[in-house]
Chains A and B, each alone.
Chain A
Amino acid sequence: MSATFLGIPPFPEAARAAVDDSRLRHNLRKATHTIRDKRGAVVTELEEDWERLRSEGAAIKSHTLRHLDHYLEQLESSVERAGGHVHWAADAAEANAIVTRLVQATGETDVVKVKSMATQEIELNNALAEAGITAYETDLAELIVQLGDDLPSHILVPAIHLGRSQIREIFLDQMAEWGVAAPEGLTDDPRALAEAARVHLRERFLRTRTAISGANFAVADSGTLVVLESEGNGRMCLTLPETLISVVGIEKIVPTWADLEVFMQTLPRSSTGERMNPYTSTWTGVTPGDGPQEFHLVLLDNGRTDVLADTVGRQALRCIRCSACLNTCPVYERTGGHAYGSVYPGPIGAILTPQLRGMSSEVDEALPYASSLCGACYEVCPVAIDIPEVLVHLREEVAAGPGHLGEKAMMKGAEAVLGSSHALNAAQHAAGAARNLVPRHLPGMAGAWTDTRDLPDVPAESFRQWWNKHEKGQS
């Protein structure tokens, strides 16, 4: 994963002018609190079973990681037995080259894409563009982000930082350049905006013959790939084209088909706060006469084996990308996703990104400090990743590492920014304006938030008491 996420691509002038910090914070706060409340309700509905599902989910993923070589080989043979082709990519460049070659073999220059963190991580769209292939994002939020020449800021709702009027502007300005134009007189009513997206994308779905996706799970024993989504754009991409290419991180494996019964209960509830997401598609190789007749699975390492090698940090690979930790994090709530300088924002980003990229830059060195260690992320995580434990572990590594310059600066920043809300707003504003400049403007801000090592690691009060007080204290 490249460390230049923040600088590429630059925000368009118009979007930058329109983005107003207080608006962003308001949107973020409203969004994260809404999802958080919904999540709480549907999790409570399962009563004490929730904790059992959570620990079972953690156990399944931990077990898989401890025997990942075995399950990778098993997955490979099950997928091939079912008529799929398996490719291995050690890093982003290899994955991009494989996908580019596969698309070129179809003779197509347009591909449709299902929202996928893995392909964002490897910056696949840029690689395809260099080869003259246009990748069209089809998830509504990803479409907004793509049309706006913007960057996603949340795992689940990538356009969470944009308001409806900004989305309307983007549609009016950009849709025509990418295909079917936005209708005249488009309002900023979410229904109207969704309808515009439907019309814009339908032609594309019916015409495009190659699709690229990720996967939420890959089942080793059956060779089944699984994608959870809401809009139906996933189903469109996964079933209408002739060729399907799925780029999947090697940590997405679960051993058996039956294991899905755990994650199909925990992922939707943790993620959108729904009992179940509107659509889930599963496919096993190819099915004659139904769906793509050619299926390629690209298994992606790209730093994951480095994470695997760290016995403390390894647990980050259990992540099922539900985004519950983002929605509960007081730091994310104020900074938004762009501050993390990575496709993986929030608490999970703070532990996953520096491990994947190897903490060789100031951005990555600062990330383990992008937390107050309050523990809220651990409490909500459906696979019980002890994010605070990993953060502390990574901080130790940063402090022990050579060339470590960041910490003192962070402490200074923390004083300045945490000292008053006015200074905080100013820092966020500055960081916002610096988004398309050099990435190293950001750690100051992430670091500012972050270094609260003078807080006791184990608070005397319970987390919930602390949290309630903390919540009341801010608005």
Chain B
Amino acid sequence: MSTSRERVLARVRAALTDVPADEPVVRPVERPYADSHGMGAALEVLEDRLRDYKALVRRVPADRLAEEVAAALERRGASTVAVPEGVDADWFARTGAERRPDSRERPLELRELDGVDGVVTACAVAIAETGTIVLDGGADQGRRAITLVPDYHLCVVRADQVVDGVPQAVRRLDPARPLTWISGPSATSDIELNRVEGVHGPRTLEVLLVE
């Protein structure tokens, strides 16, 4: 193994004889591009983009979150939901849906996860311009598998988690954590370029934007 390593590195070095020895390896940190593109108020833009991806979106006042969670689960007919252990229990004050808590220490079995009606999580950051929600595995977002296997994902996004552009989001995120960037539900365009929502991931993404 180490011989291949040395061989590849030697080939790389031999290929780069045109590079002056004193050329700096570190690039100066200049960002000639914009942080965002002035497309409008972040929440409006996010809502628009998410709808464009066929996600369901509701703007909800903070003091009505529990009602809205209950109403969303009811509309969906979701009676069992996976929930990361760190999610605020108040969110579920008004719903009769059965919660199946999940954490890295006490994970649900895959088959059990496959059997629940949906999953409810928070998020780390949301990017308005691209309609993207990022999960970082925090205690209120949980393991990557729980937002993947169930067919319905209800995601609660707080207004203060929404940024305008991609660079702002990247700066807020910690690469040491496993990240999942979600822009609408699972989709494919592989068959004559017809977009079909939902192949392997959740086919329905519902977002509650909490103001």
Contact = CB atoms under 8 A, between A and B. Distances in A.
Interface of A: 27, 30-31, 34-35, 45-47, 49, 52-53, 55-56, 59-60, 63, 66-70, 72-73, 82, 87-90, 94, 138-141, 144, 157-160, 163-164, 167, 190-191, 193-194, 197-198, 201-202, 205-206, 219, 222, 224, 230-233, 235-236, 238-240, 250, 255, 257-258, 260-262, 264-265, 268, 272, 274-284, 287-291, 299, 301, 305-306, 308-309, 311
Contacts of A27: 192
Contacts of A197: 199
A230 B198 CA distance: 9
A194 B191 CA distance: 8
- Where chain B touches its partner, the secondary structure class is loop
A278 B201 contact: yes
A358 to B, nearest CB: 14
Interface in B60-118: 103-105, 107, 110-111, 114
- How many chain B residues sit at the interface, stated as a range, is 35 or more
A284 B176 contact: yes
B32 A236 contact: no
Nearest to A236: B200
B7 interface: yes
- Where chain A touches its partner, the secondary structure class is helix
Interface string B1-33: 100110111011111101100010101010111
Nearest to B134: A280
Contacts of A139: 190
B143 interface: yes
Contact of A287 (B131, B149, B178): B178
Given A49-B37, A70-B25, A88 B181 contact: no
Interface of B: 1, 4-5, 7-9, 11-16, 18-19, 23, 25, 27, 29, 31-34, 37, 39, 49, 53, 103-105, 107, 110-111, 114, 127, 129-132, 137, 143-145, 148-149, 166-167, 169-171, 175-194, 196, 198-202
Interface centre among B29, B132, B196, by most chain A C-beta atoms within 10 angstroms, is: B196
Contacts of B29: 258
A31 B188 contact: no
A70 B9 CA distance: 9
A309 B15 contact: yes
Given A191-B196, A232-B200, A90 B32 contact: no
Nearest to B137: A290
B173 to A, nearest CB: 8
Given A194-B188, A222-B175, A278-B187, 15 more contacts: A55-B32, A69-B12, A70-B25, A88-B5, A90-B8, A140-B188, A194-B196, A205-B200, A206-B111, A230-B187, A238-B144, A239-B145, A239-B148, A278-B186, A308-B16
B49 A49 contact: no
B198 A198 contact: yes
A201 B25 CA distance: 45
A88 B8 contact: yes
A280 B182 CA distance: 7
A305 B111 CA distance: 46
A235 B5 CA distance: 30
Nearest to B32: A52
Contact of B25 (A67, A236, A289): A67
CB-based closest 6 A-B pairs = A289-B104, A232-B201, A232-B200, A309-B15, A305-B11, A280-B181
Contacts of B132: 276
Contacts of B14: 305, 309
B192 to A, nearest CB: 6
Contact of A73 (B9, B184, B201): B9
Given A88-B8, A255-B27, A233 B191 contact: no
Nearest to B5: A88
Contacts of A284: 175-178
Given A276-B181, A281-B144, A257 B175 contact: yes
Nearest to B39: A45
B179 A282 contact: yes
A290 B32 contact: no
A197 B129 CA distance: 32
Interface centre among A160, A190, A258, A260, by most chain B C-beta atoms within 10 angstroms, is: A190
Contacts of A309: 14-15
A289 B201 contact: no
Given A140-B199, A157-B190, A68 B184 contact: no
Contact of A68 (B16, B148, B180, B188): B16
B106 to A, nearest CB: 9
Nearest to A237: B200
Given A167-B191, A275-B183, A66 B19 contact: yes
16 contacts: A52-B33, A53-B33, A72-B9, A87-B4, A88-B4, A90-B7, A138-B200, A140-B191, A194-B198, A219-B175, A232-B199, A258-B171, A287-B104, A289-B143, A290-B137, A301-B8
